[in-house]
Chains A and B, each alone.
Chain A
């Protein structure tokens, strides 16, 4: 797999993780 595609996968993962953190879905005190 090309490096450029892997970087895009890294970006996709980063977006997903940041989305979870920013939306506060990772905060157990808030969720449960």
Chain B
């Protein structure tokens, strides 16, 4: 088990059924396999499936309503520009985004509430790089990755492939250098 996981689980009260799922083990070919921490199991697949459907529906709804690609970095970034005319829906959308995540965590205990796990300075530098990159590339994971790829836009497909590859290389190096 990675150190961060123990910290994640210890501060929240789990329902008995979640606790049972977390502690359940299978004995297969003489080996005990912990379902919770196996690479991919039904538990994480269900979370990914339901989460992905919600994100897709949200993107579709926001696109229809605004007539624009709802990239989160763009929605937030243009909210900070004084000349932006349509600030109201952007603020309401972001309010819903934060509220929806908080509500999900309250109602669905296998949902994950974001908590910073790095020093504030590191988080600030990482955020700055992400913000710079998304403005330079004209979109983020939601704008390019969800909507752009879904629409078949070539620049979005290229951007998504590049930033996903960059993220994989970063994690690969980080795990070997720091963890």
8 A Cβ contacts from A1-32 to B:
1, 5-6, 8-30, 32
Given contacts A18-B103, A21-B111, A24-B47, contact A13 B92 (CB under 8 A): yes
Is the Cβ of B89 less than 8 Å from the Cβ of A9?
yes
Is the Cβ of A18 less than 8 Å from the Cβ of B112?
no
Rounded to whole angstroms, the CA-CA distance of A16 and B25 in the bound complex is: 33
Given contacts A19-B58, A32-B171, contact A14 B99 (CB under 8 A): yes
Is the Cβ of B47 less than 8 Å from the Cβ of A17?
no
Is the Cβ of A28 less than 8 Å from the Cβ of B52?
no
Dominant secondary structure of chain B at its interface with chain A: helix
- Chain B residues with Cβ below 8 Å from A27 are 8, 112-114
Min CB gap B2→A, angstroms = 7
8 A Cβ contacts from B87-130 to A:
88-89, 92-105, 108, 110-118
- Chain A residues with Cβ below 8 Å from B44 are 24
Q: Can you name 10 A-B residue pairings with CB atoms under 8 Å? A: A1-B89, A9-B96, A10-B96, A12-B65, A13-B94, A16-B59, A20-B55, A22-B50, A22-B110, A24-B51
What residues make up the interface of A, taking CB atoms closer than 8 Å to B? 1, 5-6, 8-30, 32
What residues make up the interface of B, taking CB atoms closer than 8 Å to A? 2, 4-5, 7-8, 44, 47-48, 50-59, 61-62, 65-66, 70, 72, 86, 88-89, 92-105, 108, 110-118, 142, 171, 174
